[in-house]
Structure 1
Amino acid sequence: MTGVLRSWLYVPGHRADRVAKALAAGADAVVIDLEDAVPPEQKAAARDNAVRVAADRPADPAGPQLWVRVNDPAGPWGEADLDAVSGTALHGLRLPRSEDPQLVREVADRTGLPLQLLLETATGLARAVDLAAAHPGVAGLGLGEADLAADLRVPSAAGLAWARGWVVVAARSAGLPSPVQSVFTDVADLAGLRASSEQGRDAGFVGRSVLHPRQIPAVHEVYTPTAEQVEAAQAVLRAAAQARTRGEVAVLDAAGRFVDPAVVARARVVLDLAREPGPALPAPPEQPAGGTR
């Protein structure tokens, strides 16, 4: 699976039957969970299942990416998880309760796998910028909203709006992809999922973790640009390309919209989210020595 990943389906690692179903459910990524969804007596079985799936699954560029959420490396099961997954053919790891940049560096070096850091405590949130830049292996940031709300003593999801904005800023300031939205726990409330996902999209998230396959279609719909948005983005790039052939970098397009490099960059984002290629733009005209004013 290439392009921006819209849906990340969690599946309990100790349920081998569910892992197989999850891989065929249509999500862009599957996250085998070794942490919260697995009872203590099943931790070893979940770990073994994850390693087996990573080893046995045939390469399929059109299939979902395969990630694993390990247990807290500082907790009782984390060390065994890291030993087991190191060097496997996983696309990466989700690291819960990320707080310590030095520990992130140690995990990245030890496993050799990309890391998505889950910020689930006040300390992790406060250190988001340092965590994002802790190691080249850090592939993204995200929030674990249920744990974070408990740690911050926030009584409702509305109280985390500022934290969502902050994690978007921290990720982008480090040059990381826009973050993935946390799960919506009321699996039966698809209207609520859709509304919450629209809020996340508008806040700068580009996809969402999900707990059940029935949540995937709504998430994909929200996080995939419409045909009209794609056509508008393509029109922006066409106008920019035509302007550059005339030695210009800013122009009014046929619809009277102002197109400059910032508008072009936003159009590229839309096409990236839509998995649509955009035309290559000619090189910008050279500026006179000393620049312009």
Structure 2
Amino acid sequence: MRPHPLTWLYAPGDRPEVVAKALVAGADVVIVDLEDAVAHGRKAYARAATAELLGEPCPVPVHVRVNALGTPLSDADLEALAPLPGLAGLRLPKVASADDVIRTAERAAPRDGGAPALYALLESALGVERAFAVATAHPALRGLSIGEADLRADLGVRDEAGLDWCRSRVVVAARAAGLPPPAQSVYPDVRDTDGLTASCARGRALGLLGRAAIHPRQLPVIERAYLPTPQEVERAEEVLKAAAAEEGAQALPDGRFVDRAVVEQAHRTLALAHRTP
């Protein structure tokens, strides 16, 4: 089993040379985008190029963001790509209901097996309101995340702080459904590494885990921001050492209280630090 991804790198499907570079850029997952990053006149070419790429297993997991659900473009995407051996997951844009997930899973299921892993992008107020229904819509759904640019436009939100409630709602919905913590949406300014670092810190505080990127230079910044610090690792090890020495709730010499919930959090911290499942 692979450890939980921390970095997802987008690449436009109509630029195979960029996709090829993305595959060796160090991201945990590469997302080939057939939707917003591809002009309408190049959709068919992008689909064909992506099908060629996914005709055999890839060196890293490759997800594909298909076109708008329920359209001829997305139907063609699903038919061409869902059965291919190199496909690790389908990213579904602008999901607004459980039915969106169910219909996609049914269309994407090959005749001899189940649907590929699906990941829902919530990009509207309605999608966020229905987050738990979406999260529990179908067994093929493996994750939720927010498309923040579209959501911000839908809500009229002026800055990042205005999305905190929506982020928290999706974090809770994912946890309640037994899904991994959602990843944070892309940070659009590829040169602003300080802003990216601060934004990741905010996302991490809200319970998000990892982030999508639009340029390889963002990958190490995201990974550093989401991996536990040496101090956090040290504190987690102290908690587990104390818990192993004595059962039940207790207080450490520095005043920290240790109980089962604190121990579980320490285990999660160390698993993430060592990138174990």
TM above 0.5, yes or no, is yes
Show the counterpart of 1:46.
46
Q: Does 1:86 align with 2:89?
A: no
Instruction: Give secondary structure in 1 for the equivalent of 2:55.
Output: helix
Q: Does 1:75 align with 2:74?
A: no
TM superposition shift of 1:73: 1.7
Show the counterpart of 1:272.
271
Instruction: Give secondary structure in 2 for the equivalent of 1:51.
Output: helix
2-structure distance, mates of 1:117, 1:127: 12
Unaligned runs of 5+ in 2: 109-114
Show the counterpart of 2:111.
none
Aligned AA for 1:46?
A
1-structure distance, mates of 2:7, 2:276: 21
Contact 1:4 1:275 (8 Å CA) reproduced: no
Instruction: Give secondary structure in 1 for the equivalent of 2:47.
Output: helix
Q: What are the equivalent positions in structure 2 for 1:218-257 lying under 5 Å apart?
A: 218-243=221-246, 248-253=247-252, 255-257=254-256
Contact 2:8 2:31 (8 Å CA) reproduced: yes
Structure 1 pair 105–277 and aligned structure 2 pair: CA distance change class (3 A): closer
More moved, 73-82 vs 174-183 = 73-82
Q: Does 1:211 align with 2:214?
A: yes
TM superposition shift of 1:3: 0.9
TM-score normalised per structure 1: 0.87
Show the counterpart of 2:262.
263
Show the counterpart of 1:197.
200
Contact 1:120 1:148 (8 Å CA) reproduced: yes
TM superposition shift of 1:256: 4.7
Unaligned runs of 5+ in 1: 279-293
Show the counterpart of 1:101.
98
TM superposition shift of 1:76: 3.7
Contact 2:30 2:62 (8 Å CA) reproduced: yes
Instruction: Give secondary structure in 1 for the equivalent of 2:54.
Output: helix
2-structure distance, mates of 1:55, 1:223: 33
Show the counterpart of 2:182.
179
TM superposition shift of 1:44: 1.3
2-structure distance, mates of 1:48, 1:150: 32
Contact 1:197 1:219 (8 Å CA) reproduced: yes
Instruction: Give secondary structure in 2 for the equivalent of 1:93.
Output: strand
2-structure distance, mates of 1:152, 1:78: 26
TM superposition shift of 1:139: 0.8
Larger Rg computed on CA atoms = 1
TM superposition shift of 1:31: 0.3
- Equivalences, count: 270
2-structure distance, mates of 1:170, 1:69: 22
TM superposition shift of 1:152: 1.4
Instruction: Give secondary structure in 2 for the equivalent of 1:131.
Output: helix
Contact 2:3 2:276 (8 Å CA) reproduced: no
TM superposition shift of 1:264: 0.9
Show the counterpart of 1:37.
37
CA deviations on 1:211-256 (whole Å, 9 max, x unpaired) are 000111110100111223223212322222222xxxx232334655
2-structure distance, mates of 1:210, 1:147: 16
2-structure distance, mates of 1:272, 1:45: 41
Show the counterpart of 2:142.
139
Instruction: Give secondary structure in 2 for the equivalent of 1:163.
Output: helix
Contact 1:207 1:223 (8 Å CA) reproduced: yes
TM-score normalised per structure 2: 0.92
More moved, 12-21 vs 147-156 = 147-156
Q: Does 1:110 align with 2:113?
A: no
CA deviations on 1:102-143 (whole Å, 9 max, x unpaired) are 221121233211111100111111111100110111111111
1-structure distance, mates of 2:182, 2:169: 11
Aligned AA for 1:109?
E
More moved, 254-263 vs 114-123 = 254-263
2-structure distance, mates of 1:276, 1:23: 20
